Amino acid sequence: MTEGEMIPERLPKRVRKELERLEQSGEAPVMAFPAVPQRYQDEKAKAFARMGAFDEAKISSWIVATEGEVVFIRAGLIRNRVDRFSLPRITGIEYVKEFQDNTLKIRIGEAAEAVRFYHEIEGVRFYRHIKAALDERDLRKEAGKEG
């Protein structure tokens, strides 16, 4: 998913609706991947994430990156749960166990959330995107202090 690209039809309908809401609020999604934050992980979700192959239309937990936020979407029967974190609140991102189990740890202030990706390559792409955004933010801070 790139800026200006339409929301793919392969995504679950409830996730597509949340992505449309993000676009309407001015936060166009840059990438969206099936991933399970630790707080939502049950044995079934962990098993599917370990296998890495599952019908994306049936996955209910997604992570979305926009230009300014990281968004966790958990599709529910009655309503979706959406947790939004602005990039300034994110203090770091790191691999867990050298990414052996498709897990990244996202630091939000003093707290941290482990996120397990269904597909390893998507976790790597997400890591690179967020790491680059955090590095760019840090460079702007440094430039502001010097200038």
CATH architecture label of 13-138: Roll (2.30)
Q: Tell me, what's the pLDDT at 14? A: 83
- Where along the chain do its domains lie? 13-138
The angle at the Cα of 29, spanning 89 to 54, to the nearest 5 degrees, equals: 105
List the beta bridge partners of residue 62.
34, 73
pLDDT tens column, 44-96: 666 666 665 566 667 778 999 998 999 999 877 777 889 999 999 999 999 98
Confidence of residue 15 (pLDDT cuts 50, 70, 90): confident
